[in-house]
Chains A and B, each alone.
Chain A
Amino acid sequence: MGSGSLISLILAAVAFSAGGLAVAKFLTKGSTNSQKGQTYECGVPTSGSPWNQFHVGYYLFALIFLIFDVELVFMYPWAVVVKKVGMPALFEILVFVFILFMGFLYAHKKGALKWM
């Protein structure tokens, strides 16, 4: 099978999920209640909206992740040919990783990897 199977898999996932939801809709009957639609936060009335600021730490981790993820993408083609090319490929990636690791140590030193 070729790439057409991906379309078939996507359709299978949608059909499976939508089918389950449709069956559930067919089998159940809803009830109404004035408090039913409220946000569930363990029974206490909610205060404030969650759609506001959150901890900056997540953002810093996401930025560092982005750098390393791009590095990972660069290393995929390298890993395929490294056995054939031999030692020169290893030295080149060592230079690359060294520069990247300096940046990582800088981020570490700046406290970007520290929670709170």
Chain B
Amino acid sequence: MLSFENISHGLHNWLSAIMSETPVVLIELTLVALAAITLFAALGLILVYMERKVAAVIQIRKGPNRVGPMGIFQTAADTLKLVMKENFMPDSVDKFLYKLAPFVVMITAMLILAPMPFAQGFQIWNINIGVFYVTAISSISVIGVLMAGWASNNKYSLLGAMRSGAQIVSYELSAGFAILSIVALTGSLNLNDIILSQQDGWWIFKGHIPVWIAFVIFMIAVTAETNRAPFDMAEAESELTGGFHTEYGGMRFALFFLAEYINIFIVCGIGATLFFGGWMPFHIGHWEGFNHVMDYIPSSIWFFGKTFFLIFVIMWFRWTFPRLRIDQLLNLEWKYLLPISLFNLLLITVIAIKGWHF
């Protein structure tokens, strides 16, 4: 059976056979870095193209269709354009923080990839507190956003960054409670254990209505956390031109833009892992034959299929709901989502203790 686990073990054994330990570790770390960079670039190209095509389909127009067949090289052309632009920096900015901010955002986006289970046995670091790690690291990115907004010495940037900060930290709470409800059901923080607990059905089907409520709250919260419409207060174009990255251009802007799309991928991947079983194929209780047929579809296709479906849902939100005002946004979180998600977590705990789930 050809699986990622066998491939990585085989590679490790082969490398260990021909050289000593230190170069093996160095080569493996380089491979990890190269794989992560490739994933970053590929995801950036695919997601931007997907965003534009989904927008076009929803608005009944064609979208990008000039560069290459069906416009598939449009994002590559856009990237080239951004690289060709000057690394321009306004005079009045705080130079050190202005330059540091894109790096902070990119490093956090890259670090969250570590515990992501992309397929069966395909994970950079199988850490036993995976869920906690993801929530902890993802809250660092708000520092990068605040840094960029403050260092730009621009009123739009500062307002955008403050709004973004308030929004990200607020919605982190209800996202955290939604994640905790799955942790309470499985009793583990390890992302692989959470996936294995869904062997006889995904939590969204096993956990009755409370898990659906948790899932809906999770989706709303992560849409807000990634600064996507209808919660794109941070860069509301008609109010704040570009929000916290108004003063950024060229490659530095491209880094912010890329990190934003990677963050969407990451939160959707976490959502797919927690609620839809990650790489676990679609299984129903004791239907052995049906489960065997489903196992023939590779696990990586299941993971990416679910993740891209959730990304599509988030893109769909953008063209369905009008933008909220800042006070409505904070009201929604503090007066509705937070009490509901806290109560829902206690309800799911009762279900977990009593074993009322399937």
Residues on A facing B (Cβ under 8 Å): 1-18, 20-21, 23-25, 27-31, 36-42, 46, 49-51, 54-55, 57-58, 61-62, 64-65, 68-69, 72, 75-76, 79-84, 86-87, 90, 93-94, 97, 101, 108, 113, 115-116
Contacts and interface: CB of A to CB of B under 8 A. Distances in A.
Interface residues of B, number: 81
A7 B154 contact: no
Nearest to A107: B334
B335 A80 contact: no
A28 B86 contact: yes
B173 A93 contact: no
Contacts of B113: 9
A42 to B, nearest CB: 7
Nearest to A75: B180
Contacts, number: 205
Nearest to A23: B83
A87 B132 CA distance: 24
B102 interface: yes
Given A4-B29, A8-B32, A58-B166, A27 B155 contact: no
B172 A40 contact: no
A39 B89 CA distance: 10
Interface in B172-187: 172-173, 176-177, 180, 183-185, 187
Contact of B154 (A14, A40, A86): A40
B192 interface: no
Contacts of B159: 54
Contacts of B170: 61, 65
Contacts of A72: 173, 176-177, 180
